[in-house]
Each structure stands twice: as structure tokens, then as C-alpha cells.
Structure 1
């Protein structure tokens, strides 16, 4: 019986840590994330830079994992200096935007040309190396 109590306590502690880890504040990012998609497209056209469009939701734990992992990697942050990065909250964005990019799940990343053609995309949590490959593939 004592073993069961210890096991139950360990499970509760692990769950509490997981919840705390998901909601603890993140350090500031070196990436300038825009939140207005249409302004970001205008900036991309003006600067001739591709966009990285992240479709996410604040309640999405996979989105938080992506933000805490690959998107905080220093190599990714350095590479994103050559892109216009924009986050689209799927709870508030026009539905037409999700349809335009055929968003079937979140997090969804789309590398997009300034004229809004999709160059590369990914759905779900990916590693920093996978994201770097996605960004490089789109620039070829």
C-alpha cells in the first residue's frame, strides 16, 4: 500500500511539473514576431523577404512546445533574421486565412513568398534542425 501512495505522489508531482513547465514565462525572443498578417505581407513585399507564418492558439500545448523548443533555438533565431515572422492566432484570425493555407492542425508553419505562395510547410511540433531544413528548402 505504501508503494501505491509513493507512486501516486510521484505521478501527481510529475503532472504538476508538466503544467508548471507549460505555463512558466518564456525569456524574450530575439525574433520580432508580428501579429498582423496583412501588415507582415506588406512588409515582406516591401523588403522582398519571405515570411514564416505560424498558425497557433494560446490553449495549444503543442504550440507552446514548439515555441519553447525549435523557435527559441539560437540558430533558428539567427536564420529568421532573413524572414518576416508572423504569428496567426487561429481563434481570432479570419477563417479565410486558414483556408488559404489549408491549415488542418496546429501548430502549423508555412514559409511563404512575398506574393503569398507557399514554399514549404509543416504541421506539428518539429525540432530546430527540421525547422532549419524547412527554412533552407524554402530559400532554394
Structure 2
């Protein structure tokens, strides 16, 4: 998980100043989309878990790449944490039509719908992440 998250007042939804929200339930996910809407028209949705070895590799390699960080600074970023793999996690995974981590896709922050051809499952390189995010970045 990315460092720097703090619990938002009165909710289990964790957020930070960089635009990252962490969702652990459908309710959290909807709240995260509502917050993300203020930042961007789209959000990168990152489904991960503390026990996911590939997720840890992505955190150490892809999500620290300066190019990826620059692009993420122009979008909203919602981390879906299914570490607990409890009823809320499984319901959220079904809602997102995902089998588990790591799964990444771009979603419309207004509707929550996944944008076509933006999903990846498993490993992704920093170069591929840049290519995925670039079309959604705000022009400089």
C-alpha cells in the first residue's frame, strides 16, 4: 500500500493529500468515486492486497516510477484493498467484475464504470502503465 494514508473523518475510507483513496467495501468505493470526481474525470483503480506478492512488486517498481507518479498526479487514484478477503471484499470484487489482485483499470469517476480496453491483470511494467495513463492525463 502507498504510504501516507490517513482515515477520513467519520468513515473507513482512507485518503491522502496526493489524491489516493483506499476502498474496502462498495460503500467505500462509491465514496472514493465521489471524492475522486472533484479531482478528475477518471481514476486509476488498483485492486490489491497486503498478501499479494505481485502487488508488492508493482508498489516497489511501477508506482514509484517518476513518469507514473507525474501522470497519477493528474488523475484520481483509488486503491481497492482486499487484504481481508471478507464478505465486503468479495462483494466489492464481484461489483468490479474482478477475480482478485492485482487488477488495474481506469474508471469514469461520475459513473464508476470501467473504460474500455483499460484493464490489466497481473504484472504490468512502468512503460505499459505510462502508456495506459497518458491518454487520460490533463494536457500540460
TM-score (norm 1): 0.69
1:52-88 deviation digits (Å, cap 9, x = unpaired): 1111110111110011011110100010012111111
Summarize the Cα distance change of 1:34–1:44 in structure 2 as closer, same or farther, 3 Å threshold: closer
Aligned Cα root-mean-square deviation (Å):
2.5
| Structure number with larger C-alpha Rg | 1
119, 129, 132: which one aligns with 2:130? 132
Summarize the Cα distance change of 1:32–1:47 in structure 2 as closer, same or farther, 3 Å threshold: closer
Q: Does the 8 A contact of 2:101 with 2:121 survive in 1?
A: yes
1:110-135 deviation digits (Å, cap 9, x = unpaired): 11011112111111111111011111
Unaligned runs of 5+ in 2: 5-16, 24-28
32, 49, 53: which one aligns with 1:57? 49
**Greater helix share, 1 or 2?**
1
Unaligned runs of 5+ in 1: 1-25
Summarize the Cα distance change of 1:31–1:65 in structure 2 as closer, same or farther, 3 Å threshold: farther
Q: How many residues align?
A: 114
Q: Work out the CA distance in 2 between the residues paired with 1:137 and 1:96.
A: 30
Structure 2 SS opposite 1:52: strand
Does 2:96 match 1:109? no
TM-score (norm 2): 0.69
Q: Does the 8 A contact of 2:45 with 2:78 survive in 1?
A: yes
